């Protein structure tokens, strides 16, 4: 009796499976088993001449003469920087789109060498407007800053005035000078996207930067620097802001009169 019941039970399970399978088309079976596939963006291929600096820990800075980028397959891409000595350094990584004109490359390797870090690439049509980023190459820290001054800036549809102010603490480092302690930061952006950034030093002095808004979302704004008072300036300020016009964090990287600078400020 037990043997007969076992045969009947197995037969009933098999019959149910065959009936259920017959209700599914081959396409529905494949769709059920396969993982969802993220839609693929059209292949991208940019190249631009300009100027920039590649810094690798323990070595002298090297000037960059041109930069290229192309997607190698779905969600993967390669950034190539061509140095003034004709050396080429490639960075491969995962690509994600930040907005219509900005890509984020999560670095995974550099040819056969190990590499990690993040590169941000801003483009307009097929022109690379900006490439910046930091990371590690064979355990050595590296940084990249490249600008194409002849490229047309990406169009911006609308700006909203913004007025941020915050007391806190931070540090301003300008190459060749002593570090300066910060205790105050303000950021103002007008309806044309023009920005004024003021860094309050602990000794009572202030250092001001002018620039143009290049990206904004609900918690972050990015300013492309154009000047520092009467001095020339290049680079970016990335500001994370919160409720009541507060500044949670400000990070900057660029040059003042050709001297590299870094700034970090937080509440």
What CA–CA distances, in Å, run from 246 to 61, 78, 101, 168? 36, 37, 27, 11
Does a structural domain hold residue 227?
A: yes
CATH code at 201?
2.40.160.90
* Contacts made by residues 208-213, CB under 8 angstroms, sequence distance 24+: 209/233, 209/237, 209/252, 211/237, 212/153, 213/156, 213/159, 213/189
Return the SS3 of 199: strand
pLDDT, tens only, 113-160: 999 999 989 888 788 888 988 899 999 999 998 988 776 555 544 678
Encoding tokens for residue 158? 């609308």
pLDDT, tens only, 59-109: 888 999 999 999 877 789 999 999 988 899 999 999 988 777 888 899 999
- Number of structural domains the chain divides into: 2
Of 90, 123, 147, the domain-final residue: 147
**What residues does 197 pair with on adjacent strands?**
187, 209
Of 115, 147, 179, the domain-final residue: 147
Spell 26-39 as b/e; 16+ CB within 10 A means b: eeeeeeeeeeeeee
Question: Domain of 129?
Answer: 45-147
pLDDT of residue 41 exceeding 70, the answer is no
């Amino acid at each position: 009796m037990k043997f007969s019941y076992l045969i009947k039970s197995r037969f009933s399970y098999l019959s149910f499976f065959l009936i259920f399978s017959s209700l599914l088309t081959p396409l529905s079976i494949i769709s059920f088993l396969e993982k969802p596939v993220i839609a693929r963006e059209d292949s991208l291929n940019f190249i631009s001449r300009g100027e920039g600096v590649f810094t690798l820990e323990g070595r002298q800075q090297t000037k960059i003469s041109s930069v290229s980028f192309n997607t190698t397959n779905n969600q993967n891409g390669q950034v190539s920087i061509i140095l003034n000595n004709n050396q080429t350094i490639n960075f491969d990584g995962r690509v994600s789109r930040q907005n219509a004109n900005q890509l984020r490359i999560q670095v995974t390797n550099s040819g056969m060498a190990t590499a990690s870090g993040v590169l941000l690439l801003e483009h307009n049509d097929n022109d690379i407007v900006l490439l910046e980023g930091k990371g590690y190459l064979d355990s050595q820290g590296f940084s990249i800053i490249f600008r194409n001054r002849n490229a047309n800036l990406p169009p911006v549809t609308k700006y909203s005035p913004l007025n941020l102010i915050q007391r806190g603490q931070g540090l301003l480092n300008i190459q060749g000078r002593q570090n300066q302690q910060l205790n105050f930061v303000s950021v103002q952006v007008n309806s044309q996207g023009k920005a004024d950034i003021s860094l309050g030093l602990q000794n009572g002095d202030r250092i001001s930067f002018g620039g143009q808004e290049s990206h904004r979302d609900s918690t972050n704004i990015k300013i492309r620097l154009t000047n520092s008072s009467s001095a020339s300036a290049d680079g970016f300020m990335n500001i994370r802001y919160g409720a009541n016009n507060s500044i949670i964090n400000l990070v900057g990287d660029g040059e003042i009169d050709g001297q590299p600078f870094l700034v970090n400020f937080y509440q």
